[in-house]
Amino acid sequence: MSYSPESLEAFAQAVALGSFSAAARKLGKSQSTVSEAIARLEIDLGLELFDRSGRQPQLTDAGRALLGRVDEILAASDRLQHAAAQLAGGLEPRVSLALSDAYQSAQYEERLTELDQRYPDLEFECLIAEHHDVIELVVQGRATLGLLAAQGSYPPEVGAATVAERADFGLFVAREHPLAQLANVRESDLAGWRLLRLNTVGDAMAPADGLPFSGGRCWSAPSYLLLLEMASNGFGWAELPRWLVSGYANGRLKELQVPGWPRSQAVDVVWSRQRPLGPAASWLLERLLDRPAAR
């Protein structure tokens, strides 16, 4: 059974203001209209919501028990109307962000809080991906925006801009690994041990970023978090975001002292030029950028 919004609103206002006449004035209706609306609601529910035996109607136990439910329905109705108005005004129903573990920003949670407050009815999805997988998700339309370690080039249909935050990468091994016992590590030392490298769906199997690579002595995984676990278990050494190690390795890894490391890496946000960004995605893009360097 459905209940008219007018009846629910009349009931809620009568409770809040203490009388049918006050509710009528607040709603800009006649007292008889408000009384009839509440009476219809009582008939629909099969319950007496007000005791009308006194000078002023008094809320019954049943009315008191149902008041919270009525407030929930009215609040849901408000959200429905707000969402419909935003969609009618061009707001996209959903934004998906493909996020690399390379990106770690103190402002990220603040941006999501702002997004929640500004677009409370927007569906938001976060996808974890790396390198070319981020780009592919954006190209396919699976992700609206992507954050990843800056690439040398992008497909012509992909727009990119550099965010203010940079990612710091280091080389890590398990504390029990023989490499961890060396005060200073040369590239020739690294080449003698298994490389754990990122290997995404869109990447070819090749040495990453000029890292030493020895034949088949290489294991790969599609995410930095999996590489972290492999390195923690002593299977080899890996290039990892330093913030990820600090937050998730629990002291199991040691950073190697290698010439040229650690390295600082720019981070880009990417989007598809083939699909215009909606209001929410455009707003989020601007909030992620600080002094954007558009390409």
Q: Rounded CA gap, 210 and 191, in Å?
A: 12
pLDDT at 189: 92
pLDDT of residue 89: 72
Q: Does pLDDT of 227 surpass 70? A: yes
User: Going from the N-terminus, what domains does the chain have, and what CATH number goes with each?
Assistant: 5-88 (1.10.10.10), 92-295 (3.40.190.290)
Looking at residues 240-244, what average pLDDT do you find? 93
C-alpha span between 153 and 261 (Å, rounded): 24
Q: Is residue 199 very low, low, confident or very high in pLDDT (cuts 50, 70, 90)?
A: confident
What pLDDT was estimated at residue 152?
84
Q: Looking at the chain, which runs of residues are DSSP E strands?
A: 50-51, 58-59, 94-99, 123-128, 145-149, 158-174, 195-198, 218-221, 237-241, 253-255, 263-272
Distance in angstroms (rounded) separating the CA atoms of residues 277 and 144: 8
pLDDT (average), residues 50-66: 89
pLDDT, tens digit, 9 for 90 and up, residues 163-179:
988 899 999 999 999 99
Share of the chain residues as helix, strand and coil, in percent rounded to the nearest 5: 40, 20, 40
Average pLDDT, the chain: 86
What is the Cα–Cα distance from 158 to 78, expressed in whole angstroms? 38
Region 132-160: what's the mean pLDDT?
A: 92
pLDDT interval class at 26 (50, 70, 90): confident
C-alpha to C-alpha distance for 213 and 194, rounded to whole angstroms: 8
Please give the pLDDT value at position 165.
Answer: 85
pLDDT at 221: 92
Compute the average pLDDT of residues 125-147.
Answer: 94
pLDDT at 86 over 80: no
Q: Across the strands, what pairs with 95?
A: 124
- Give me the mean pLDDT over the 85-103 stretch: 84
Secondary structure of residue 255 in the 3-state scheme: strand
